[in-house]
Structure 1
């Protein structure tokens, strides 16, 4: 091979390597399906087919002084492949082949115009090896992954050893050119170069397409077509005229079987499709139940958040913490949602007027006696029993809520104190219990401190 061949080889090798590394890096990125370790990624294939001196692109190979002298004649071609799949869409393949490429001249009269008056040629390919990048283009029926068909394309770079033999007739019997045993370090087109090799070396670029039919979890039928572009003008032997330096090409059609290696418990990555995997997962009842449960939890959480944030009266305090619901719009409220009443001049009455005991205090919206009141009431009960005297109990409430509700609450508070005294041995007839609601406040209802003092029962003679 000359310098041009070496340069093209390096460029093509760089291209294949770059594509390989790019796909490998992509395969290492997490995808919807698991990593390569859960799949079978190695395979070996056996293939056989035929060759033709023409390719789909570029027309016929030039031979002699006119284009079209030599026509297709079928030659046998067979080989082996070893492939490593890096992702569902890309793999690297080593391919080796050998066989023959044949052609013949349909116009016998024009054969005399060639340099050796050759009417046919047969090229023996002793070996051809290439490194290919294989790109999966698509798959049919991937939702079930049964009887799947995968389409692919491949691009590679290789080297081959060959020997062309030219004949004076079309039955390959009368040899007019055979350089076997004399090939050497010849310069392309130099027919006088002498060596001792049986085969000439050249680089070539295989470009092909094909389809794989999944026959089982292990075996696939592989059908394909490859065009091989060589870096040599002597693939079919020497030719004259303007075609002396034109690079030759050939194509091969093949069929074969590919065997996936590895444990049968794992899927074949070649026929794995992320969309199919996602489809299968969506059909999985357990996963569906999990998704539904997650939806329910999210719905419950959203409901809780809505409930916590609900503010029916729009006072800025959520209903859950609003102690004074339904306040009028625009009302200034405190942290519990109750209206703030700004201090006004209040004539405070003497808390002890006509009273000889401190008022009994109560919690907000409650008529239950505090335990701290028991000692005062026990002392009062003893005094009433000893003196055989009477007492008046006046109940009050703070200004939260309606007046009617607070009136009843104040009566309940006075009766709670009366009941305690009765239980302590004081005759009920000597106890007068009254309720006055929000009336007669002893402190301002605009502050919580004042409202605490107004929740009381006063003890009077």
Structure 2
């Protein structure tokens, strides 16, 4: 335990020391300069690879209360891909694999002597908060302390060994040897710039497992946890000539921009103002002249969308569709054959709905499919008029007739018909074609009429 605390203390000391050294590049250099509020260009994607030691002991809580009192250091390795959203905030997807082991289980029923957990895989999404890259006087940081926290999911297998050396695979309550659990990774560390596209990554991470079965032994009332101290390399994606967002200092860029703007003398500024004023006066005169000329070229007397200068057919009646020269478009000739009418008539005769609903029965699908094909192939327009008998209230009948017409339109559109060429209207009980005093008459009045045009 003392050894682990010593390692943790050295890591924290390194972080504190690194935070005092983070600014190494003076603002006189402009290779990492990005104009404030310009949005770039900056590099935001990076990938990293690392390796280190996995142990069940952590810097949080009382390690003596864990299920196993003697930690073992095992090798672990992992990687990540990171997207930087601002100089201080990023999201990264982490992968970790390795082994965690320990000995001297706490006294209890069936106390094992040791455990070994093979972490087959783990994936986590974490927020990465970069510290120490905000300074007035330096454009780029060379050391970036950071904190991470997130959530992940992992799969592992655990074996426990008793005092006699007998090894037993651990199985959970469902009898599974391969166990999947959620965990919460929390970490800290710092990165050192080795070059424009490579960083050295030194970090320490504690993973809080959301169960007490990670070490195959359940004693006490706390969940298991393990730590990962690692060293690795981070590679920034993109051109090395483009600044990295994680090391770019927006505060310094604002200062640099301010200094540059105020480096000019009053005489130079006044000369520029006078020159711009003269240009503006000339532009204003030119603009006034241009506007006067444009006013003559932007008149559309008949409102058909074609300017008078290009309108070969002036005084077109309002609402007339015209071509690019302002002349009325010839109306297409629509030829509806007897076969087309037979297809529509067949659809009407086979149309059935569920009682009191707008749900089309399956019996009607085949004939409606033929109508949809007709609309697609010949680009016809179709009017759907829904009607009911006088059974029920007028409002209910009006709504039902409209819903049934809309249901047919929706079915035809789903089959490929042009929705803009189908009109669905409901008339309720207002237009009967037979008496509502008999069942046969009411049956005739409950209908949807199809009109091709």
* TM-score (norm: length of structure 1): 0.47
* TM-score (norm: length of structure 2): 0.48
